Structure 1
Amino acid sequence: MTSILQWGAAGKQLLVISKPRAGVGGDEPYRVGELPYKQDGTGVVVEHEASLGWLNIDDGTVESIDAQGLEVLEARWCATAGRLAFVTRSRGHQRHCMQLWIKEGNEDPFRTAEDHVSFSGLQWSPDGQRLAFSGSKIEGDSIGLLCLWEFQGGGS
């Protein structure tokens, strides 16, 4: 597991981000096809996208959540509304750009706030009708502004 994000509503699952680690043996070189490159003592972490899932604390199994095949950076579950918000990273030369997705129940996720390029600090309102986050519409901007997304049903 890379990150433990929060408990599920019933207290029997954890929302987690996991990223597989590629093993490198001995002095063999490892070819890195994309950056960032990280070696933290447990293996090389490259060319593997972080995935989102629910970890069952009773048996250790992970139920994957469809993140459109993109690398997940952050997520927040709202048990009241049965709604999940998650942030993904773009691929290729646009890896600095992010997307915000909303998933309801078993429905496919939909992208929202498409005019933004960065997101962090996702927080649902208690009723699950609003999502607050820090974000920016300017690539490379180091200052995030408080943003509020309001759910209007079916991909607002």
Structure 2
Amino acid sequence: MDALDRMFERKNLSKLVGCPDGKAVGFQVGWIDEEGDSSHTQVCISSEHGVFAVTGSGDDASGPVWRSDGSKFAYLQGHDGLLQVFARDADGGNPRKLSDLPHGVVAVQQWCVKRRQLLVVAFQARPDTSKPIVSDYLPYKMDGTGYIAGEEISLYVLGEDDGSIQRVETPGADVKEARWAPTGDQLAIVVERCERQRHLTDLWIRSNDDAEFVQVTSQFPTVSSVAWAPDGKAVAFAGSSIEGDSRIRLQGWDLVGEKALLFSPLELASPSGLQWREDGQAVVAIEAHRSTQRIVACEREGGFSVVVDKPREITEFWMSPDAPMPALDRRGHSSGSAVETGFVGRHSGGSAGRLQPGR
């Protein structure tokens, strides 16, 4: 029972995302309410002024996603039984609701200051559970989610000023990810294939709003964590080479030369958090290394250097403009994960500057 009690006491941190100016970091805290037999999530911000909760402890929330100039951030919060997009100033003030989609929002992907728009993935349709559901593809149901057969998840552009919403016509089935290039014109998306097995995904890119999407990958069963190079001339992503293989490796595509980038064949410990170095010559990622993880910088044409190599269990990180910033623990201590000045996670030594958000 002690182990079970510790599980209920634990708070888990995830979705770590840093403010572009390097002065703050946002994250999501999740925990289990044993008495209420439910789970909850809370959005928090950590800055030089301390840690504050953006949403209440009883709310279900997700995020945050920073505006590209760092002045505001967006997050998801429940409203009338559906998750909708809300926004606040960087200091947590001036909260306002941005979206009012009839079936709710799945995730905020990006907030581009040049376009004054947000990319959001939202439900276009939800399954009708009042009658038998017929599915001709798998998976039709997900643990913790329920039936997904009959769902349609589409990509939308949300205006930050007036809340205007516009659906983006995309190939394939459900949209899993979407990212504008730093210039704000090119758009990369990850979509499920229209096949019997919907877990297979591909990367597509269009050059501008009026262009058609062009398929970039077909050789990888799964693609995720798309990251644009600072100059918008290349993309990096996590991809598996064999269907069903848990090993994920760093992949990339040069849009100018229309060729694959020859990253070192390192095994990624986590597909999340791929970040390009500011010079655009390397991608920083989390490598699986001797039963733990380390952060490495993978050069575009092969070779790599170790950025962080300490006995830790890391699942996420964020690199500020000046130096690496927090990473996340895979399991955490009995009291949960914690944010430190350099890292979040398990380590063998002391913990300087650790911040533990309250419930």
The answer to whether TM tops 0.5 is: yes
- Which residue identity lines up with residue 126 of structure 2 in the other structure? R
Residue in 1 aligned with 2:324? none
Asked if residue 61 in structure 1 is aligned to residue 164 in structure 2, the reply is yes
Change (3 A) 1:107 1:11: closer
Q: Which residue does the alignment assign to 2:207?
A: 104
Aligned residue in 1 for 2:19 = none
Partner of 2:15: none
CA distance in 1, matches of 2:203, 2:164: 26
- Kindly indicate which of the two structures has a greater share of residues assigned to strand: 2
Of 170, 181, 193, the match for 1:90: 193
User: 1:93-143, CA deviations, whole angstroms, 9 ceiling, x for partnerless residues?
Assistant: 232211110011110000012221211111001100110111022111111
Which structure has the larger Rg?
A: 2
Letter of the structure 1 residue corresponding to residue 190 of structure 2? V
CA distance in 1, matches of 2:244, 2:205: 24
The reply to whether residue 138 of structure 1 matches residue 138 of structure 2 is no
Amino acid at match of 2:255: F
Equivalent residue number for residue 107 of structure 2: 3
The Cα shift of 1:76 comes to 1.2
1: distance between equivalents of 2:157 and 2:173? Answer: 17
Please give the root-mean-square deviation of Cα atoms over the aligned residues, in Å.
2.5
Bigger mean CA deviation after superposition, 143-152 or 63-72: 63-72
- Greater relative contact order (CA < 8 Å, ≥ 6 in sequence): 1
> What is the aligned partner in structure 1 of residue 133 from structure 2?
31
Distance 2:250 2:230 in 1: 18
Give me the whole-angstrom Cα distance separating, in 2, the residues matched to 1:10 and 1:82: 10
State the distance in 2 between where 1:6 and 1:133 align.
Answer: 16
For 1:79, the equivalent position in structure 2 comes to 182
Pair 93,46 (structure 1): closer, same or farther in 2 beyond 3 Å: closer
CA-CA distance at 1:81 after TM superposition: 6.0
- Whether the aligned pair in 2 keeps the contact of 1:130 and 1:148 (CA below 8 Å) is yes
Which AA in structure 2 matches 1:31? I
Relative to 1, partners in 2 of residues 1:92 and 1:151: Cα closer, same or farther, differing over 3 Å? closer
Is contact 1:53-1:64 (8 Å) kept? Answer: yes
**Gap runs ≥5 in structure 1:** none
Aligned counterparts of 1:55 and 1:39: Cα–Cα separation in 2: 30
- The separation in 2 between residues aligned to 1:115 and 1:62, in whole angstroms, is 34
Partner of 1:119: 223
C-alpha contact (below 8 Å) 1:90/1:99 kept by paired residues: yes
- The alpha-carbon deviation at position 38 of structure 1 amounts to 5.1
Counterpart CA distance in 2 for 1:39 and 1:144 is 23
1:21 aligns with 2:123: no
- Give the number of equivalent residue pairs: 151
